Chain A
Amino acid sequence: MTTKNSISESEFDDGTNVEVKDSIAKSYQYGFVTDIESETAPKGLNEDIIRFISNKKNEPDWLLEWRLKAYNHFLQLVENENIPEWANINHDPIDFQDMYYYSEPKPKKELQSLDEVDPELLATYEKLGIPIAEQKKLAGVAVDAIFDSVSIATTFKEELSKYGVVFCPLSEAVQKYPDLVQKYMGSVVPYSDNFYSALNSAVFSEGSFCYIPKGVRCPFELTTYFRINTQETGQFERTLIIAEDDSYVSYLEGCSAPMFDTNQLHAAVVELVTLNNAEIKYSTIQNWYPGDENGKGGIYNFVTKRGRCIGDNSKISWTQVETGSAITWKYPSVILQGDNSVGEFYSVALTKGHQQADTGTKMIHLGNNTRSTIISKTISADKGVGTYRGLVRINPKAENAWNFTQCDSLLIGDQCAAHTAPYVEVKNNTSHLEHEAFTSKVSEDQLFYCNQRGISSEDAHSLIINGFCKEVFTQLPLEFAVEATRLLEANLEGAVG
C-alpha cells in the first residue's frame, strides 16, 4: 500500500454496533422554537436545490461547479451504498429526500445595528444565555451568530478590521475574498473525503470565514454560536480559518438547539490552515438536544473537522467538550506538514441516556520533529455509549516525530459502556510514541467515602468528574471552562446516584 499524504474520515473501520435500549433523559433546558417566518426551499436533495442555494448566495461559477461535483460524488456513494457504518453508533437510516436544505429568517432590510435585529431573535439569544447586546459592551469577544442558515448580527467588526482580521459569514467572504476562499476551501477536507463532507460541500449554506493576516495576534477570542431552528432543516455549515505567518487566533464555538420530534442531521465541515509560526486554538462546547427519554428527536452530529499545519513551527490545537446530540461522530484532526509543527487534541465527551458518541482524532505526521498530544476523557452514564477512536500516523519522511496519547474513561453506573480504538501506524523508527489509558468507575465505596465526610452523592459526582476532566478544562478559555463545568453538572443531574 502506498503512503498517503493526507487522510480521510472514511479510514476508520471495524466498528461494532451496540444496541441501544430505553432510559431516562433529563428534559432539555433550551427546548423552544422561535416563530420567525422562514424562507425555506422545498424538501429534498437534487441539482435544482443546489442551484437554488448557489443562486441565493450569488455565487461565482466555480463554486457552483464545485458543489455539483460534490453532489455527484455523494450520489455515487449513495448508489454504491457507501454510507459509513464503521463507527460505534446505531441509528435508523437517514432519509435525505425528506429534509429541507435551505432556510433563512426573512431579512427585513439591511441591518445597521443590533437595534434593528428582530427582537424575537434577540430574545432567543437571551434564553440561550447569549446576551449579544451585552457582549457588545463586554470587552474581548466578537460574535458572528448564526441563526439557522443566515448570519444575523456581526459585532466588533470595525475593531477587528483595525488589525486587518477578517471575521465574516462564509458567503460574504466568497464575494469579498474569492481568491482566498478558492485557494483554501476543500484543501484540508476535500469534498470527496467522506460521505458527509460530500453532502456538506454540495449543499452548505452558511458558515464562518476567518483570516488572520501576517504577524497579527488576534486581540479577541472569536465566538460563533451555532443554532438550529427550523424543524427538519439539515444544517451544513462550513468554517474556514486561515492563519498567515506569525499569526495567532483563538476561536470558540458553542451551540444549543430546540427540541424536536424528528432527528436532525448536522454535517458541518471545519477547515483550519496555519502557515509558518502561526497558531490556531479552536475550542468547542457542543450541547445540542440529545433526544427525549426514549432517545427520540435528538441531533445527529456528523462533523468533519481538520487542520493543516502547512508552515514550519505552526500549531493547531482542538479542545472540545461534547455533551449533547443523540449521535456524535467527530474526529478533529491535524495534518502536521511543516517541520516542528504541533497538533493537540483535548476532549471531554459525555454520553448519558441513549446518547452515542464516537469521537477522537487523527494526527498525521509528515514533517520532521512534529509533535502531537492527545488527551481524551470519555464519561458514560445511564446507558450512554462512548467510544474513543484515534489514529496516529507517522509517515516515512517524518523524522523524530513525537506523540503522547492518553485516553481515559469514567463509567457512572453499570449499564453504560466505553470503548477505545486507538490505531497507530509508524513508518519511521526515529519516532517516539507513548500511550496511556485507564478506565475508572465511580464505585459505591468511593461514593460512601465521600458521603461519610458529609458530601452528598451529587456533589461527590461533580467533584470526581471535574477532577477527571481537569486536564482538558485547563485548556479552555476561562469563561468556557466555567460554562463547561456547569454544563457537565447540569447534564449529570439525575443521571447519577
Chain B
Amino acid sequence: MLEVKDLYSTVSGKTILNGVNLSIKPGEVHAIMGPNGSGKSTLSYTLAGKPNYIVDSGDILFEDQSIIEMLPETRAQLGIFLSFQHPLEIAGVRMDQFMRSAYNSIQKQNNNEELDVLKFNRLLKSKSEELNVDSDLIQRFVNHGFSGGERKKNEILQMAVLDPKLMILDEPDSGLDIDAVRSVADGINKLRSESKSTVIITHYQRILNYVIPDYVHIFMDGKIIQSGDKTLALQVEEKGYEIFN
C-alpha cells in the first residue's frame, strides 16, 4: 500500500525529515509516537503533498506508484486521506457543500457516479448518524466555531464519506474527553478493512486500546528510530522517550 524510502524533506529551508523508512501493507494499522517537534506532522504533510514541503531525496510509493510529483488533490483522489491535527476553518462554506464538492471530485476522477444534492445529503446523513455526529454540524460552515472535539469527529466523518484506502490520522485523540476518544476510535474501526491501511500519530496509548496497532514506531529527530508491537506504546507511556536516547 505505502512504501516510504529513505525520505528527506525540507520546510522553509529547514530539514525536518531525516531518512524515514516505512512499509505498510493493506489491512495493517501502524501507530507513530514521538516527542513534540520531532516531525510527525511534517511526515503526514509530506505524504499528503503539502506545497512547500520539499522532498530532497528518497521516494514515496503508493500502490507501487511514486507520488512525490503529484498534486495534493491527485493524491487524495487516489485514496490518501489525512485527518489534520489542526483542521482548518473555512468561513462561508457549508460542511455539506464542501463535502459534496470533495466527494464528487474524487468520484469523477475515478470514473464513478457523482451525486446530486439530494442523494449526497442522504449519504452524508446516514454516515453522520452512524458516527453519532450532531447533524447540526453538517449545516454549519466548515469547522467554523467547532469545538476541538467536534473538529476531530468531523475529520472522521469526512473520512467515512470519502472512503479512502490509506487513512493517516494526525493525533485524532488529542483534546478529546474519554467518551469522545472511544467514539473516534469506534469510527476508525468501522472504516478498517482488509484492503485499507491506517496510520495513527498519537501521544497516548489510550486510543491504541481501541484501535489495536500491528506495529508501533518511535519517531525522533525526523526518523523512525525503533519499531515494535503494541507493547512499545505501553513502554512509552510508562517511561517516556528518555529510554530511546
Contacts and interface: CB of A to CB of B under 8 A. Distances in A.
A450 B91 CA distance: 13
Contacts of B52: 444
Contacts of A446: 88-90
Given A452-B76, A454-B106, A454-B162, A463 B48 contact: no
Interface stretch (B12-20, B93-101, B231-239): B93-101
A67 to B, nearest CB: 47
A463 B98 contact: yes
Contact of A449 (B49, B90, B162): B90
B161 to A, nearest CB: 10
B105 A448 contact: no
Contacts of A466: 93
Given A467-B94, A468-B92, A470-B92, A454 B84 contact: no
Interface residues of B, number: 33
B88 A445 contact: yes
Helix, strand, loop or mixed for chain A's interface?
helix
B225 interface: no
Interface in B77-94: 77, 81-82, 84, 87-94
B94 to A, nearest CB: 7
B116 to A, nearest CB: 17
Nearest to A438: B91
Nearest to B107: A454
A137 interface: no
B158 interface: yes
B226 interface: no
Contact of B72 (A443, A448, A463, A464): A448
A453 B91 contact: no
B72 A467 contact: no
Nearest to B94: A467
A453 B92 contact: no
B142 to A, nearest CB: 8
Contacts of B209: none
Contact of B73 (A443, A454, A467): A454
B92 A456 contact: no
Contact of B101 (A457, A459, A470): A459
B93 A467 contact: yes
A226 B48 CA distance: 49
A83 interface: no
Interface of A: 440, 443-446, 448-457, 459, 463-464, 466-468, 470
30 contacts: A443-B88, A448-B50, A449-B84, A449-B88, A450-B90, A450-B102, A451-B71, A451-B73, A452-B48, A452-B76, A452-B81, A452-B82, A452-B84, A453-B76, A453-B102, A453-B105, A453-B162, A454-B76, A454-B106, A455-B102, A456-B73, A456-B105, A463-B98, A463-B101, A464-B90, A467-B90, A467-B97, A467-B141, A468-B91, A468-B92
